[in-house]
A and B are shown apart, each in its own frame.
Chain A
Amino acid sequence: MNIIQESSPAGVDTLTQSYSDKWEGTQGIEQSSEFLQFMASGDLIFVVLGVSLIIWFILLFYIIKVDRNLSKIEESINSSDEA
Chain B
Amino acid sequence: MTAVITAGFLIKIPNIPILEESARNLFLHVPMWFTMMVMFTMAFYYSIRFLNSEEMKWDTKAETVTLVGLLFGICGLLTGSLWAKFTWGSWWTFSEPRMNLSALAMMIFVAYFILRTAFNDPVKRAKISAVYNIFGVTTIPFLLYIIPRQLPSLHPGADGNPAFSEITAPELRLIFYPAVIGFIGLAIWLADITQRSKQLKARAAEL
Q: In the complex where A8-B166, A25-B88, A73-B204 touch, is A58 in contact with B71 (Cβ < 8 A)?
A: yes
Residues of chain A with a CB closer than 8 A to B186's CB? 59
Tell yes or no: A30 within 8 A of B by CB: no
Tell yes or no: B20 within 8 A of A by CB: yes
Tell yes or no: B75 within 8 A of A by CB: yes
Q: Which of A1, A48, A62, A77 contacts B24 (CB 8 A)?
A: A48
Measured CA separation A47–B89 after assembly (Å): 13
Interface residue stretch chosen among B38-46, B76-84, B132-140:
B76-84
Residues of chain B with a CB closer than 8 A to A55's CB? 28, 32, 75, 79
Q: Which residue of A lies closest to B166 (CB)?
A: A8
Instruction: Report the minimum CB–CB distance from A47 to chain B (whole Å).
Output: 5
Interface residue stretch chosen among B103-111, B112-120, B190-198:
B190-198
Tell yes or no: B147 within 8 A of A by CB: no
Contact, CB under 8 Å: A77 / B204? yes
Contact, CB under 8 Å: A25 / B32? no
**Interface residues of B: mostly helix, strand, loop or mixed?**
helix
Contact, CB under 8 Å: B194 / A66? yes
Interface size class of A (residues with CB under 8 A): 35 or more
Tell yes or no: A51 within 8 A of B by CB: yes
Tell yes or no: B94 within 8 A of A by CB: no
Chain A, residues 50-61, CB within 8 Å of chain B (1/0): the string is 111011001100
Residues of chain A with a CB closer than 8 A to B25's CB? 47-48, 51
Contact, CB under 8 Å: B89 / A24? yes
Residues of chain A with a CB closer than 8 A to B200's CB? 70, 73
Contact, CB under 8 Å: A69 / B190? no
Measured CA separation A45–B168 after assembly (Å): 19
The 10 closest A-B pairs by CB, nearest first: A44-B22, A25-B89, A51-B79, A43-B21, A80-B207, A47-B22, A25-B87, A48-B24, A25-B86, A14-B167
Residues of B in contact with A (beta carbons under 8 Å apart): 20-22, 24-25, 28-29, 32, 68, 71, 74-75, 78-79, 82-89, 154, 156, 159, 161, 166-170, 186, 190, 193-194, 197, 200-201, 204-205, 207
11 A-B interface contacts by CB (under 8 A): A1-B159, A8-B167, A10-B167, A14-B167, A24-B88, A27-B89, A39-B86, A45-B21, A48-B22, A58-B75, A77-B204
